[in-house]
Amino acid sequence: MAERVLEGKRIAFLATDGVEEVEYTQPREAVEQAGARAELVSLKGDPVQAFNHLDQSDTYDVDVPVAQADVGAYDALVLPGGVANPDFLRSDPDAVRFVKAFFDAGKPVGVICHGPWTLVEAGVVRGRRITSWPSLRTDLVNAGADWVDEECVVDGNLVSSRKPDDLPAFCAAIVKQFAR
């Protein structure tokens, strides 16, 4: 059994339709096994349609719409990837405000794959060392980030990874970071 280093913590997972399923389910399982309460925050209250690359997969029930979510109720945030998911999120003012509020409060954030697109929109990557899916490199560099091609990068309260293959390292890093 995993050590319950996150006992009593609440972790928000911000995702919507198009989320890469394993980038949502594996980090969620990791924080739950470590004792945290994970909640799916989304653009609306309808179930979220996950994808396995370009193929539809399962749907997941939303705990709270982002417009009603209170950042103060959460200890940390995870932004899974998938191509469509962060593109929808970065276009939603409530989602962008929610993400920015975690950074403003100094709370830990984990982001993987295409997830950093929402960070760019929130204006929180300048001066940060970060990784992502390779196609986001130019966007992140143009937003002032120091982009690197590494499995998992920890820069202060920000944990980032590139792709599903990096999930074991990403999950271990977010649990460690969120336990601080």
Secondary structure of residue 74 in the 3-state scheme: coil
The CA distance from 20 to 28, in Å, is 13
Please pick, among 53, 113, 152, 171, the residue that the annotation labels catalytic: 113
Tokens at residue 91, please? 């276009």
The CA distance from 27 to 49, in Å, is 17
Task: Show the CA angle centred on residue 98, arms to residues 24 and 119, nearest 5°.
Answer: 70
CB 90 within 8 A of CB 79: no
Residue type, 82: G
Tokens at residue 74, please? 């959460």
Residue spans of beta strands (DSSP E) within the chain: 10-14, 19-20, 37-42, 48-52, 55-60, 64-65, 76-79, 109-112, 129-130, 146-147, 152-155, 158-161
Q: Is 152 in the active site?
A: no
Please pick, among 53, 114, 152, 171, the residue that the annotation labels catalytic: 114
The CA distance from 105 to 178, in Å, is 14
Active site residues: 113-114
